[in-house]
Amino acid sequence: MVFRHFCRIHRRSSTTGREEFRFPPFRSCACLKISVSELHPISCTHQWKKAVTPSKPRPVCLLIPVVGSHGGSNRSLIRSTHLLGGACCVAGHCSAALGTCGDDLQPIDAERGFRPEIQGLRGLAVALVVVYHLWPTMLPGGYVGVDVFFVISGYLITGMLAEMSRRDGRVSPIGFYSRRVRRLLPAATLVLLASLAGSLLFLSKARWEETANQILASAFYVENWRLAAIAVSYLDADSLPTPVQHYWSLSIEEQFYIVWPLLVIGVAWLSRRMGLSVQRSLTAALSLVFVASLIVSIVMTRLDAAQAYFVTQTRIWELALGGLLVLAQHRLRPGSRASRWLAVVGLAGILGSAALFSAATPFPGAAALLPTLATVCVILAGNRKDIRIRGLDSGILRFVGDRSYSIYLWHWPLLTFYLARGNSPTLAGGIGLALLTLVLSDLSYRYVEQRYRRARPGAWWKPLGYGTVAVLACALVSGGLLLALRAETIDTALIGTPSYPGPAALLWNAPAPADVELLPPLARLTRDVPVVYSSKCHQEGDSADPVGCSLGDPAGAKTIVLVGDSHAAQWVPALDRIAKDHDFRLVSFTKSACPFSRVTIGKDKPYPACAEWREKVLVEIVKLKPYLVFTSQSNYGAVPQGEMIEGLRSLWDRITRTGARIVAIRNTPHVKFDPSDCLSVTPAKCSTRRSEGTPSDVLVVAAKAENNSSVTAVDMIDAICGPDLCPAVVGNVIVWRDHHHLTATYSLALAPYLAQKAGL
């Protein structure tokens, strides 16, 4: 719809004899008659002369989108009289509260009302995300749908705030927040509570604590920071994620909703005080946010992609990009031919990035420019009413777009519960999940989203109050579950008793009764880790300065050392017990993904902190002059075996010259099941063939090639695996906390056997 009707000022009405304004009728906008006498009572009589002599005619009815990016309709209408000189006349009243409302801000769209292609774009974006989650190999870059959402959200929300500031001379943050709560919180809270209930029904007890933690974080919209803190890789996680992990993107949007109105208010107020253009000031502010955040995103993605994926500062530029489009689009008026090409290029950019990107693509960083700029092209192309973007304005995509918020909320927990029950992501299973998602989404859209969105607006505090109650309800339920789970303890004194023979069941066929609870309890399984993790002396990431944990007997006459990566750290419980039994002092130096060998790790992604840490640790070990040095490591298949052996020998030779003896512990097997999920669903099937899980180990090869009596290789596989299988449970003690790390409990159970193998 093109607004071709303008304000006509009639000096004298032929029927009433009074001066009046007449606003011509528009679709969705009733004809308004405002008499002069109706305008006078609001203390703006002094503005009347300005009002009746406009410098140029302006449209009086404006349609703008007023919802977030994840769903709903952009049909919502704001009726406003545009600026008539200096007076601001809205709904029959005038106001000059913040000076004139005749700022130079341009309306979000002076030509089009409802934007069907934006609804279609929402539908396309959520479809990309769902297909990627259901069938990752089919659309390896489908995660870019979230970036499309971010741009749309920045476009719509910034447009609404800018129009409020231009129209009313102010932005009401309380009113804005109240509408956001009424629009978003009911469905989000429903899915959080449903996810908590589903977790108790379908997930392993080992996952309950982290799920409760993330539900709590999601309720307060800080889930992205929770995931960044635990350095979860959303694209390449080793184990099943929680059913609310997808709230990370909603958290970023909510943080944006909180900060953005304050930014607009601050910039508008400051520019008015300084006599500056509000339009230019907002453009400058958003440009600064865009550039700064983009730079941070590129740098952080190179340094730590797992954290960069989630944190707000690497994503806010995408929302700012949508905001910049709002402020600039009145100057960007491509012709019909150019608009058609923009639409084609934009859709090609979105679909191309979804097809060509993958989990290996450094993201967001510079790569995110492709889908976000492509989204800008599509939105800009749709600004012309004579352009139809074929496909995006289809009934199917608009139907999905209307329900995109609910679809995004429901699809992930359903998929998580499906996979947790031992199912594989087949084509048929994915189609079934997609249909179930559509059914639940349609129900929540009709009876939750629409109900609260269309509710009669009341006092501003009502939706905020209800929202607070909903958040507190989630917090209380998940917090109560956390307290109950953390009250469970592991009684390590039971290890070695007739009820918990542990490794003795393999080595000596010791009987294990079937009527006892496993150790550790399933609810504690993923947290059954060595003490070096909680004491912060197991190092991660870019930390290069060695931090040694002092364990065993602090007054021990002799010192033993443990050095290596996380596969060395898993032996801390066993070595701590050995050190206490033999009056040794134990010092551990461990760092994730960093073997104690002079080799280059991460050739595609450099890991310089590992090499620096390794050399500093060598200096510390030499200073300690230890009696024994234990070492172990994972298999690093990307490093040639000969290179790895030479790297090991160069360090071992330096240590043995101090008189120390080196004990190289063979790497533990890698099992093909997730212990917590498998033991909850199909415990009888939780095993891996020994031949598949225990390849040859470079430490054993290097120790034998050393031909040095000071270097000994120790193989503990017989105490972990049977002749044919490596089971999840041995002698009622759970062996694995994940695919390739021992539980701290089983490591402790191995202490006497490791001591014997090491000659102690």
- For 214-218, the CB contacts below 8 A with 24+ separation are 214/242, 214/244, 214/245, 214/247, 215/242, 215/244, 215/474, 215/478, 216/474, 216/475, 216/478, 216/479, 216/482, 217/247, 217/251, 218/188, 218/192, 218/244, 218/247, 218/250, 218/251, 218/474
Q: What is the pLDDT, as a whole number, of residue 459?
A: 54
Cα–Cα nearest to 614, from 640, 639, 589: 589
Q: What is the pLDDT, as a whole number, of residue 185?
A: 87
- Is residue 687 left, alpha or beta, with left meaning phi > 0 and alpha meaning psi from -120 to 50? beta
Most trustworthy range by pLDDT among 201-210, 289-298, 674-683: 289-298
The yes-or-no verdict on residue 212 having pLDDT over 50 is yes
Residue extent(s) of CATH 3.40.50.1110 domains in the chain: 518-670+695-723+733-757
Under 8 Å CB-to-CB from 709, ≥6 apart: which residues? Answer: none
> What are the backbone angles phi and psi of residue 14, rounded to the nearest 5°?
-70, -20
For the chain, counts of helices (H) and of strands (E): 29, 18
Q: CA–CA separation, 632 vs 530, rounded Å? A: 15
Q: Comparing 187 with 171, which gets the higher pLDDT? A: 187
Q: Are 108 and 74 in contact (CB under 8 A)?
A: no
Q: Are 114 and 396 in contact (CB under 8 A)?
A: no
Q: What is the pLDDT, as a whole number, of residue 108?
A: 47
Q: What is the pLDDT, as a whole number, of residue 238?
A: 52
For residue 591, the cross-strand partners are 539
The yes-or-no verdict on residue 131 having pLDDT over 80 is yes
C-alpha pair distances (Å), 729 with each of 289, 506, 689: 53, 11, 14
C-alpha dihedral over 212, 214, 219, 221, to 10 degrees?
170
The yes-or-no verdict on residue 750 having pLDDT over 80 is yes
- Report residue 372 CA to chain centroid gap: 18
- What's the pLDDT band for 463 if we cut at 50, 70, 90? low
Q: Are 130 and 434 in contact (CB under 8 A)?
A: yes
Under 8 Å CB-to-CB from 98, ≥6 apart: which residues? Answer: 169, 170, 269, 272
Q: CA–CA separation, 615 vs 599, rounded Å? A: 11
The yes-or-no verdict on residue 205 having pLDDT over 90 is no
Tell me the HSE value of 447 on the side-chain side, using a 13 A CA sphere.
Answer: 7
Q: CA–CA separation, 536 vs 549, rounded Å? A: 9
Q: CA–CA separation, 645 vs 651, rounded Å? A: 10
Q: What is the pLDDT, as a whole number, of residue 56?
A: 38
For domain 518-670+695-723+733-757, give the fold: Rossmann fold (3.40.50)
550-573 burial: b if 16+ Cβ within 10 Å, else e: ebbbeebeebbbbbbbbbbbbbbb
| Segment 543-549 mean pLDDT | 87
- What's the pLDDT band for 521 if we cut at 50, 70, 90? confident
Identity at 317, one-letter amino acid code: W
| Segment 728-739 mean pLDDT | 93
Radius of gyration of the chain (CA): 32
727-746 burial: b if 16+ Cβ within 10 Å, else e: bbbbbbbbbbbbbbbbbbbb
- What's the pLDDT band for 206 if we cut at 50, 70, 90? confident
C-alpha dihedral over 536, 542, 545, 548, to 10 degrees?
30
Residue count of the chain: 760
What does DSSP assign to residue 231? T
The yes-or-no verdict on residue 42 having pLDDT over 70 is no
Structure tokens belonging to residue 299 = 């740098």
For residue 32, the cross-strand partners are 23
β-strand pairing of 93-95 with 88-90: antiparallel
Residue in this structure with the two tokens 């972990």, named with its chain if needed: 720
Q: CA–CA separation, 619 vs 598, rounded Å? A: 14
**Number of other residues whose CB lies within 10 A of the CB of residue 751:** 22
Q: Write down the H helix ranges in 169-246.
A: 173-202, 208-219, 223-229
Under 8 Å CB-to-CB from 30, ≥6 apart: which residues? Answer: none
The yes-or-no verdict on residue 299 having pLDDT over 80 is yes
Q: Which SS3 state, helix, strand or coil, does residue 13 take?
A: coil
The yes-or-no verdict on residue 33 having pLDDT over 60 is no
Cα–Cα nearest to 102, from 354, 279, 286: 279
Inter-helix orientation angle 116-134/427-444, to 10°? 140
Cα–Cα nearest to 732, from 568, 447, 527, 495: 495
Q: Are 421 and 681 in contact (CB under 8 A)?
A: yes
Most trustworthy range by pLDDT among 181-195, 284-298, 414-428: 284-298
Q: CA–CA separation, 562 vs 660, rounded Å? A: 12
Q: What is the pLDDT, as a whole number, of residue 39?
A: 34
